[in-house]
Amino acid sequence: MIKSHRAFRKGPIRKRREIIESSGTASKSEKQVRDDFSFTGADGDLLDLAEVMVEQAVGYLGLPLGVAGPLLIDGKEYMIPMATEEPSVVAAASFAGHLLSNHGGIVTHASEPVMVAQIFLEDMGNMGVAGVDAVMESQKEIRQILKPILKSMEKRGGGWRDMDARWIAPSRTLAVNLRIDVRDAMGANLLNSAAEEIRPLLERVTGGRVLMAILSNRSWDRTASARLSVPLKALARPGFDGSETARRIVRAARVAREDPDRAVTHNKGIMNGISALALATGNDTRAIEAAAHAYAGRYGPYHGLSEYWIEKDMLHGSLELPLPFAVTGGAVGFHPVSRWCLELMGHPDAPGLSRIAAAVGLAQNLSALRALVSEGIQQGHMALHARRLAYDAGARGEDISGFAALIRSEEIRSRQSAAARFAQWQLSEGVNDN
Ligand code: MEV
């Protein structure tokens, strides 16, 4: 039990760790994990960084950071940083990069980075739907009030775009939507400040009361798209010629458009790449995921986000979704690793990073579908699974590859068998584990 909640909340990070330790909530082996990894090697500066990023920080969870690529996007080669716990994600993006490298790569487009802030009003008495007109008539005044908040964004070419208001009859609520171009930011702080700033004015002109003011994560005004083309013959797999693999990819994508059960998995595969890039660059993965899945339901039933078709001797694929990626603000460009990741990609602006994300999503999807409709995905996973088993059994450094090869050749599947075999292997190889 943690005795002093206040000390835990307010104390420095080391104190917080001590409190956890003395509370008896962490077992010995958990303590060992913490010591071995120091919640992943973080010290000094990094711990301070944790403190300023989240509340009640105790350390870091280190996720692997891989670099996929090169991926040819709009004629330029990119190395793509990806933070993920899932095997095969980096390999899948790299594979597609290789496959497409001689065929023009991926061509992308991004919209302007426009986001929406919402203010909801209730208790509007008799005004009801007439509140829409009252709000729209005060547009000039709203813009005037927002001038100081939007000033620096306007200097960068962003700022006010437009607004609308809508009466939500069933809940007798008035929704006011402000559209603001947030340039390189994700925009949450700016939008929330803008929405809160005009609360008094909206209450005055409608006679209602503000229920809440917050950005909308739907982000449908901030989309990016990607397109690829690959010759059928480049898609040949054992047992399938290229045209057959392509035909099966087209059908698989069509099934994902028609069957929501499959669509969710299909889109999860797309997001494997996009979320890994988002995490590596310090972006808000939840906002990006939420927007993508909402977009997948925009025509009614939830559907797959990508499309494939065959024309002449080429397979074409496309993907479009909201991608509210930022290159500044929040953790982006603040966390040293996210800064490094942005540098690795040549410091794209926010629409540029959204375009890279769309390309990564489509690349990821092509690789997944190609494997799914031919040999399946398990085969590709086995190599990494063997490496994990080897690590789990105690192998470290170069021994991981050596022992993983043995695990595969002997078809060892369980942790227990791997551990028992590792002890024998160490003896036979003369591995010194001191
Ligand atoms: C696994 O993380 C992702 C896949 O399931 C995606 C898909 O099924 O399209 C392979």
324: domain CATH number is 3.90.770.10
Residue identifier of the C-alpha nearest atom 10 of ligand 1? 368
125: domain CATH number is 3.30.70.420
Q: What is the DSSP string of 231-286?
A: EGGGG-BTTB-HHHHHHHHHHHHHHHHH-HHHHHHHHHHHHHHHHHHHHHTT--HH
**Tokens standing for residue 218:** 């739907």
Do residues 201 and 162 share a domain?
A: yes
Of 226, 233, 14, 244, give the one whose Cα is nearest residue 109: 226
Among 82, 266, 370, the mutation site with the greatest number of ligand 1 atoms within 8 A of its Cβ is: 266
Annotation says 316 is catalytic: no
Q: d(Cα 117, Cα 197) in Å, to the nearest integer?
A: 11
Confidence at 36, pLDDT banded by 50, 70, 90: low
Do 350 and 255 reside in the same domain of the chain? yes
Predicted confidence at residue 35, as pLDDT, reads 61
110 Cα–ligand 1 center, Å: 25
Same domain (yes/no): 253, 325: yes
- Is residue 60 included in any domain, yes or no? no
Q: How confident is the model at residue 434 (pLDDT cuts 50, 70, 90)?
A: very low
More confident residue, 1 or 241: 241
Distance set, CA 276 to CA 11, 90, 259, 296 (Å): 32, 9, 26, 19
What is the average pLDDT score of the chain? Answer: 91
Query: pLDDT tens for residues 98-123?
Result: 999 999 999 999 999 999 999 999 99
Residue 135 reports pLDDT greater than 80? yes
Given the DSSP bridges, would you call strands 114-122 and 65-73 parallel, antiparallel or unpaired? Answer: unpaired
- Which among 216, 238, 266 is the end of a domain? 216
Task: Please give the residue range of the domain that contains residue 259.
Answer: 65-110+224-376
Q: Residues 380-425: pLDDT tens digits?
A: 777 788 888 999 999 999 899 999 999 999 999 899 999 999 999 8
Same domain, 236 and 367: yes
Query: Of residues 181, 197, 284, 399, which has the active-site annotation?
Result: 284
Model confidence band, residue 37 (pLDDT cutoffs 50, 70, 90): low
**In ligand 1, which atom is closest to the CA atom of 377?**
10
Domain-located, residue 274: yes
Q: Has 381 been annotated as catalytic? A: yes
Q: Is 268 a catalytic residue?
A: yes
- Summarised one tens digit per residue, pLDDT across range 148-194 is 999 999 999 999 999 999 999 999 999 999 999 999 999 999 999 99
Beta carbons of 330 and 196 less than 8 angstroms apart = no
pTM over 0.85: yes
Is-catalytic flag, 289?
A: no
Residues with CB under 6 A from ligand 1: 86, 265-266, 268-269, 272, 368, 372, 377
Q: What percent of the chain has pLDDT over 70?
A: 94
How many independent structural domains does the chain possess? Answer: 4
**Could you identify the atom of ligand 1 that is nearest to the CA of residue 262?**
8
